[in-house]
Structure 1
């Protein structure tokens, strides 16, 4: 049985992961609407990943005989002014997700809940990748985004991203 404080944090994380999926769906829509389909594709794949993260947390709670408490998922309130802003919004958001994962991990550590810590290890590693990937898009946009041909090539490169389901075993 999991500590109820930890259950509450895990349920909160489920909501945060669903919000992340909403945010990336919003960014996908923004880029696709402006014919940057490669950027759109990258964020569509990210939407799928975040959905899967929410499901992994859900399954973890259910596998531990705990109740999943779904909460309202707020709609993103973004009004992007340029092509850089959505990517930077994603990078800043991933930093917030990392803080949230670390908060859950700290609670598990304080409770000496090694099973939950082991489960969260995958997310800690994943967040390092998520932050790096979104920061790289921002940095590359800063390097190439003002040149139409370079932006086209970056967009083409981002179009090659394909969805790969998570390999975390519960």
Structure 2
């Protein structure tokens, strides 16, 4: 059974995961509109992943006898000045998600909620991967700078990203 405090904190994270999904969907649409279909694909997959993260947390709350309380999703930006600006915003956002996950881990430890602590290990690992992947794209974007061919090649590389659901099976 989840404590009320843990249930509320996980519900807040569920909302944050849906906000993240909405942000990445907005980024995907912005890049598609600008003709950068590979970057649009990358963010579309991020959108789906964030939805899965919310679903995983919802399943955990329900499995532990809690109640999922879906809240309204706040507005997200709809345009970015450049691919670099969008990916820098993404890294900043992912670091804030990491801080939220770490706070959930601290709460789970304080509440002696070992089931939640165990579930959250997956999210800690996921955040390491998220930040590393985005930093790699930022590094590549900085290397190509204003080179349109370099941007084109990076966009083609990002078009090859394939969705893999962590909740499949």
TM class, shorter-length: over 0.9
Counterpart CA distance in 2 for 1:104 and 1:7 is 10
**TM alignment of 1:49-128, pairs within 5 A:** 49-128=49-128
Could you say which residue in structure 1 is the equivalent of 2:29? Answer: 29
Is the Cα–Cα contact under 8 Å of residues 122 and 168 in structure 1 kept in the other structure? no
Could you say which residue in structure 2 is the equivalent of 1:153? Answer: 153
Counterpart CA distance in 2 for 1:115 and 1:91 is 29
Deviation of 1:145 (Å): 3.6
Whether 1:166 aligns to 2:137 is no
Counterpart CA distance in 2 for 1:16 and 1:35 is 29
Is the Cα–Cα contact under 8 Å of residues 87 and 137 in structure 1 kept in the other structure? yes
Point out 4+ residue stretches in structure 1 off by more than 2 angstroms. Answer: none
Whether 1:4 aligns to 2:1 is no
Counterpart CA distance in 1 for 2:6 and 2:94 is 21
Counterpart CA distance in 2 for 1:16 and 1:98 is 11
TM-score calculated relative to the size of structure 1? 0.95
Counterpart CA distance in 2 for 1:132 and 1:122 is 16
